[in-house]
Amino acid sequence: MSSLKYWIWLSTRTGFGVARAKQLIEHFGTPDKVYGACQKDYNEVGGIKPEGIMQLMLKDLTGSNNILSECTRLGYRIITFQDSEYPERLRNIYDPPLVLYIRGNLPYIDDEAVVGVVGTRNCTPYGVKTS
């Protein structure tokens, strides 16, 4: 579970997309090694804009730990892009999420027709009330 905080940290960085985050993971090996890298290491990866490097240099894990605590409190499961349970169909879309937050059961979607419900980053008061 401790590595989840680094997945969450990486998934909440702005300034680059999932493709760049996946490139970082491929380069460094794991999200915790991405977290532990320095600016010089990020520059060596190439293609990361200054805004993205600034985000990567923000090493505070408070937000990630808060998300983990809330997921535990609410009974959410967290699945990362590298987990075997991560759906292949989703893994192969243009911009797949690094992290899935699951409430309830994850249906086997790789062979069946499915409908996904995607939440918003800035939930309205009505959305908060009905969740």
0.75 exceeded by pTM = yes
- What the block records as the tokens of 31 is 């999200």
Q: Check pLDDT > 90 for residue 58.
A: yes
Q: What is the pLDDT of residue 93?
A: 85
pLDDT, tens only, 70-112: 999 999 999 999 899 999 988 888 888 999 999 988 777 777 7
CA distances from 72 to 67, 80, 103 (A): 9, 16, 11
C-alpha triplet 106, 108, 114: angle, nearest 5°: 90
> Which tokens sit at 1?
């579970």
